[in-house]
A = this chain, B = another copy of it.
Amino acid sequence: MPRRDTAFLFDLDGTLVDSVYQHVLAWKEALDREGVELSVWRIHRKIGMSGGLFANILLRETGLEINQDRLARLSQWHAEAFNRLHAQGSVRPLPGARELLDYLTAQDIPWAIATSGRMQTAAANLEALGVDPSKVPVVTRDQVRHAKPDPDLFLAAAARLGADIHQSLVIGDSVWDMLAAQRARALGVGVLSGGYGQAELQQSGAFRVYDDPADLLRHVDEVAARD
């Protein structure tokens, strides 16, 4: 019987790159420009969904009309604000992120990245991480019909690796990653580096929770057997 390899399917923002808080304040700026008053923590709690779904839900919860013009403006303003924060150099890989990916590569453990963001904002993050999307499987929002908490992004990432989703780990920082992992019948591994509480991740199905990629790398034997 062949050894069944565990594939690692990573979320990007808050999981490999320290970018969640910048996304939060970029959405706050976009919503303020649109005249939508929303507390910052409520924005934080929705981050990690796709931008479109996220904006839809926020508008629905605030009782505002959802139309394509408004969604397009919000998305554009968010991207402008985020890329401005990024250009200031405050967005960096999380501790251990590059080392974890290097370790998996060296061990011949398949891995891929699946992000709810579009390539428009993901490109700068991938560059900071030293990941070349022409060489590594990276699935973005542009490539699937439904984003998280639908499981499509992780299913597509497993398919790109030729891996069985039922043998895969989904590593993510948000409740939406953990819900998508459950819906895909993968196993969710949470990281605290997106700023959510440990219990929030466990309650949404995380099988194990680590501080950040460095902490996961130190404990990788707990979640994936090595030879």
Chain A interface (Cβ within 8 Å of chain B)?
Answer: 18, 20-22, 24-25, 28-29, 32, 37, 39-41, 44, 89-90, 92, 94-95, 192-200, 212
Contacts and interface: CB of A to CB of B under 8 A. Distances in A.
Contact of A90 (B20, B28, B94, B197): B28
A39 B200 contact: no
The 9 A-B residue pairs with the shortest CB-CB distance, nearest first, are A197-B197, A199-B199, A41-B195, A21-B40, A197-B200, A41-B193, A18-B39, A44-B195, A18-B40
Contacts of A29: 90
Q: Which of A21, A32, A95 has the most CB of B within 10 A?
A: A21
Contacts of A193: 39, 41
Contact of A199 (B25, B39, B197): B197
A197 B198 contact: yes
A198 B198 CA distance: 10
A42 to B, nearest CB: 8
Contacts of A21: 21, 24-25, 28, 40-41, 44
A78 to B, nearest CB: 14
B25 A192 contact: no
